[in-house]
Amino acid sequence: MKRYILILIIGTLLGSCNSYLDEVPSKSTNLPLETIEQLDALLGNYSYFYQDKSRNAVLCTDDWEVSADLYNGFNASAYRSMDLVQVATWDVEYTAYDGKETLWSSEYTKIFYANMVLHYLDAVSGSEEKKAELKAEAYLIKAYSYWMLVNNFCLPYDESTKNELGISLKNSVSFEESIARSTLEETYIEIENCLEEALKLENSIIKAGTFRPWRGSSSAAKAFAARYYLSVNNYTKALQYANAALGDYSELFDYNSEMAFYESTVTVNNEQLEVNYPDTYYVTTSEVLSYKEFYYTRLAYHGYAWYVPSQELMDLYDQQSDLRYKYNFVENYSYTRDRTGVSYPGYVAMGTYNIPSGPTTSEMILIKAEALARTGSWQDAMNVVEQLRVKRIDSDMYTELVANTQEEAVKLIIRERRIERPFVFTWYDYRRYNNNEVSYDDVNLSREFYPYNSSAVLSGEPLVTYELRKGDRKWARPIPNTEVESSLGVIKQNTY
């Protein structure tokens, strides 16, 4: 079995990082940052930056199964947790108070570290070239974090929403700086300003022979730029930067030759049942960080350790030929979460909790294909998407997708995006589909489930219908109330 590229000397890296980070100052210390090596070590500590903790991306689309039958079947399962139920039905009454929303605080922590580097750069010793590199990397971190925040806690951006509330823009390490939310237009201007600085990165993704996607690089900045411009429906720039990133680096993981099963069993009611994971389930930290498709190492994180795929999602795959279905949908996975319930699959990528979410070569191919299709070159777009599919479909059953019109091509490509990376792309894609130049990709979501209150699902009552429709203000998810209260009301909650 072939493995990913493994060229990271993780122990040496983290050992050197920790020796510097032991002396990183906090609000309560007077320890100075004096050298460029300290700032480099701060940005090099992957544990500060690698997780994307959006529960909305996991739960708020039809990738996630919401089912009364599953709820009734899993008496002891995390599937029954109130916060999962409420977020998955787009609640805005209770979720701000559940204490489980960590995306806001985790992304602002990343922004704080980036601002710390920017604050100290002029004061520390070191070469101007290295300072320029760290400055651009810090801005890449900020651009990425602002983009995550605005796409979870704010309305989708267009001319009609530009004066709605955006996010708090932090440009210093001062705790006295205002945390009032900007407008949505100001937020997007700031993201582009940060991205412009990030695109000044000149260093390669491979440094001294080591593949380093956990650090900022020229390729990482280009790849994130492609994602950003696709998210605002600027297909010309999305295509430009996807091509630029692929021109730098274009390695793909081949499911035909680089994927295998890790065979396992689970005991249920004294019976042994197979639970066969993809071998990427048991990856080391160094293998995750150096996964060869990454331009920029980020992992979606779901703390309940079960990505529950909807039947609708699973039906999108050709289950005979698509190796993504064969390996990533693990039969009987539910028994690892609740051994007295019923059998149901789990979506598994890297370990129990994680799915790759940072920009990858596969994503750049899909961005390139979609940008071509939406700007009229849909025949060329179909050729591009096959560059990915040939690495994902069983070579003995491989056939090309066929589109006869531009609309058919776009729909096939956006389906390919969804099945390539469920629980990661879909939430962000639905937001932009509802705010672009066509209506044929609009998304309205609905679920049937029991009613509930703040503390209990009322499973004895008739099912009700929950909806998230185009134009609904619930596309902006509630900010944690702890942030609103601790700001003494300076941070305004979304209105519904």
Segment 2-41, tens digit of pLDDT: 233 222 222 322 333 333 233 344 443 445 788 999 999 9
Q: Which tokens belong to 194?
A: 């940060």
| Residue 98 to residue 85: CA distance in whole angstroms | 12
Band (pLDDT 50/70/90 cuts) for residue 339 is: confident
Summarize pLDDT for 230-263 with one digit per residue, the tens. Answer: 999 999 999 999 999 999 999 999 999 999 999 9
What pLDDT score was predicted for residue 456? 95
CB-based contact 371:235 (threshold 8 Å): yes
| Residue 389 to residue 413: CA distance in whole angstroms | 11
Summarize pLDDT for 286-338 with one digit per residue, the tens. Answer: 999 999 999 999 999 999 999 999 999 999 999 999 999 999 999 999 999 88
Is the pLDDT at 444 greater than 80? The verdict is: yes
First to last CA, the chain: 52
Judge if pTM exceeds 0.85. yes
Out of 74-88, 209-223, 438-452, 472-486, which region has the weakest mean confidence (pLDDT)? 74-88
Domain range list for the chain: 223-424
Is the pLDDT at 1 greater than 50? The verdict is: no
What pLDDT score was predicted for residue 269? 86
What's the sign of the alpha-carbon dihedral 382, 385, 390, 396?
Answer: negative
Band (pLDDT 50/70/90 cuts) for residue 418 is: very high
Alpha carbon 485 to chain centroid, angstroms = 28
What is the CB neighbour count within 10 angstroms for residue 336?
Answer: 17
What pLDDT score was predicted for residue 265? 93
SS in 3 state form for the chain? Answer: CCCCCCCCCHHHHHHHHHHHHCCCCCCCCCCCCCEHHHHHHHHHCHHHCCEECCHHHHHCCCCECCCHHHHHHCCCCHHHCHHHHHHHCCCCCCHHHCCCCCHHHHHHHHHHHHHHHHHHCCCCECCHHHHHHHHHHHHHHHHHHHHHHHHHHCCCCCCCCCCCEEEECCCCCCCCCCCCEEEHHHHHHHHHHHHHHHCCCCCCCEECCEECCCCCCHHHHHHHHHHHHHHCCCHHHHHHHHHHHHHHCCCCCCCCCCCCEECCEEEECCEEEECCEEHHHHCCHHHHHCCCCECCCCEEECCCCCECECHHHHHCCCCCCEHHHHHHEECCHHHHCCCCCCCCCEECEEECCEEECCCEHHHHHHHHHHHHHHCCCHHHHHHHHHHHHCCCECCCCCCCCCCCCHHHHHHHHHHHHHHHCCCCCHHHHHHHHCCCCCCCCCCCEEEEECCECCCCECCCCCCEEEEECCCCHHHCCCCCHHHHHHCCCCCCCCCC
Band (pLDDT 50/70/90 cuts) for residue 175 is: confident
Architecture of domain 223-424: Alpha Horseshoe (1.25)
Share of the chain above pLDDT 90, in %: 89
What pLDDT score was predicted for residue 344? 95
Q: Which tokens belong to 93?
A: 């009454």
Is the pLDDT at 275 greater than 50? The verdict is: yes
What pLDDT score was predicted for residue 33? 83
Q: Which tokens belong to 452?
A: 């509930």
Summarize pLDDT for 150-167 with one digit per residue, the tens. Answer: 999 999 999 999 999 999
What pLDDT score was predicted for residue 77? 76
| Residue 280 to residue 297: CA distance in whole angstroms | 16
| Residue 69 to residue 489: CA distance in whole angstroms | 41
Is the pLDDT at 470 greater than 80? The verdict is: yes
What is the CB neighbour count within 10 angstroms for residue 406?
Answer: 17
What pLDDT score was predicted for residue 18? 36
Share of the chain above pLDDT 70, in %: 93
Query: What is the arithmetic mean of pLDDT over 41-68?
Result: 97
